[in-house]
A and B are shown apart, each in its own frame.
Chain A
């Protein structure tokens, strides 16, 4: 059965919508800058969405309290859903994903609690991840199958995969899938405690990479089957080509040096989609810029593609690592690559990793037809996912 992508939406450090993101990617314009919107006294580099939560609340016409994670998710979901109608004969669902849910509000609550006897209790009501998604569903008028996945940094990719499987098994006809995460002190301190937060601009796949920059944002895509398309008459932007999720089962935070889980995810996704490795035009890598991830992912790419690794890049050099949103945001970028036959450059790269010697795409490449894009998302706990997109 074919599953089509008929809507895309994204908000990130490099733009408030799909078009702005596309132009930034083309123009090698990073969104990672010294922290500005988030209340912080630190001098750190973050891929912030360039709008305050108050501005987002006003633009999206919702009421506080609402977590920034919900706001970013809603902004992206709204763009992907735009123009679609509710129709009782189309079974419609939404699957979002987040790693920290309403943590931006929760950390305010805990701060108030330490300082006063009367913290604002409404701030903690947005904590749970399920509520984060329900706020998005409510704003779009979706009821029925409403679900949230949380597998750290692979969450967004897993939401796409679950949506596809629900359509394939005839439980849904149309499903909005994606994810969002806002920047929080909690996650920044967390990655810092693991000693993988870089105070320089992130350098994915470079020998001298020294960690990630956090970002924030939301990404959503609309998936439809033929039955739904017959009613909506939506334009097919791309199709899903395959998907897989595997466990590395190596370490709680680190990826295995032999790239076992990642290798399995990539090869299983190709197998499910019946796609030959040589057909892959572009790999949108996970490429967080940590010493461990980029080495393990490079090894996995070589395991699967041998001497013929396709052009690849990490767009986290533009957005920062948006955690649960990353798989969804990069799904939108993958669709853009297919639509415009373009491969996006990897920023801040200069020297290949000694052990693998892979060289990412560093210039905007428009010289080839892009027919198949493979996107990797790997998370904590060894959660590895690959989603493949192809021309419709």
Chain B
């Protein structure tokens, strides 16, 4: 499976910037989401109602369409941990504070599948359209679904993930005692065009993705099994990208991966449920720039849920 387009909007200068992985900066408390001029991607009539999560997702999707030249993907698959929080909160507050009829727009835009639905509307696409929402594994589940599609009759699949932060999350994080720098809560979206066809646009290959929810065995064994099913061992992996956020100790990580270098993505992506999609884009660029041959994404944002995604270079 080839990755023929990647697009990310994040707190890094990642959107439509081929060199972004060389410009990564650790986030500080003041860093903000870096957004494009959305009017270049979305008609004003539609844009006026859209919250951040939908704007990011549509811009990334359209960017993927342009990069890959695939106008009509055979499936549109989205993962989101918390969905359209801003509109959900807005409508919820309205139900509690307004009397009489309540404006419907924020209700319409509150459902998780607004993102995938809006993409299908914008693209006039009638194909498979789905939304996965399994907290920290939402992106991996979307990816696994995309792999199923490509093994069926589909040739091109648009898959991505997005989450948006709202002020309430910061408030809650504080009450749960999370550090506002090491656990900086951010928004982000990353989309990809996956294909069975290698084209001039192809950047890397997706080999497999796998999840274990409510894990009760050793992560090392799960990783070994996953690699074994793909005919590999940990020695075949050049780099591991991980989003541990301190849920797993450095010692455990070293113990699991032995000599393989582990690069944390936390300080660059910030904390959101689908930041492993940011990691996948980062990994694809690393492979495209020939700095490695095989990369394993190790998602332990929530340490009882494990996500594994294996990428390799076009040559591998």
Contact = CB atoms under 8 A, between A and B. Distances in A.
Contact between A and B in the complex (any CB pair below 8 Å): yes
Interface of A: 99, 106-107, 110-111, 114, 121, 124, 127-131, 133-134, 137-138, 142-152, 158, 162, 165-166, 169, 171, 185-186, 189-190, 192-194, 245-253, 260-261, 264, 379-383
Interface string B25-58: 0000000000000000000000000000000000
B173 to A, nearest CB: 11
Nearest to A246: B126
Nearest to B217: A143
6 contacts: A130-B135, A150-B83, A150-B112, A186-B91, A189-B107, A246-B127
B139 to A, nearest CB: 12
Contact of B111 (A110, A144, A260, A381): A381
B127 to A, nearest CB: 6
Contact of A121 (B91, B175, B213): B175
A111 B145 CA distance: 37
The 3 A-B pairs of least Cβ separation, nearest first, read A381-B117, A146-B213, A130-B135
B120 A107 contact: no
A380 B128 CA distance: 14
B95 interface: yes
Contact of A247 (B89, B117, B211): B117
Contacts of B24: none
Contacts of A171: 144, 148
Contacts of B91: 186, 189-190
Contacts of B81: 128, 130
A353 to B, nearest CB: 25
Given A111-B96, A143-B212, 15 more contacts: A130-B135, A130-B136, A148-B133, A151-B112, A171-B148, A193-B103, A193-B104, A194-B107, A194-B108, A245-B128, A245-B130, A247-B125, A247-B126, A249-B124, A380-B111
Contact of A137 (B92, B113, B124, B213): B213
A137 B137 CA distance: 15
B114 interface: yes
Nearest to B116: A381
A107 to B, nearest CB: 6
Interface of B: 76, 81-83, 89, 91-97, 101-104, 107-114, 116-118, 120-121, 123-138, 141, 144-145, 148, 151-152, 172, 175-176, 211-216
Given A107-B96, A247-B76, A165 B113 contact: no
A137 B76 CA distance: 27
A143 B229 CA distance: 19
A260 B127 CA distance: 12
B133 A152 contact: no
A194 B108 CA distance: 9
B126 A249 contact: yes
B107 A381 contact: no
Given A151-B113, A253-B108, A247 B118 contact: no
A245 B126 CA distance: 9
A272 to B, nearest CB: 9
A189 B95 contact: yes
Nearest to A99: B111
B175 A148 contact: no
A106 B168 CA distance: 12
A103 B123 CA distance: 31
B148 A169 contact: yes
Contacts of A381: 111, 113-114, 116-118, 120-121, 129
B212 A252 contact: no
Contact of B172 (A121, A143, A192): A121
Given A121-B172, A194-B107, A150 B92 contact: no
A371 B89 CA distance: 46
A143 B95 CA distance: 37
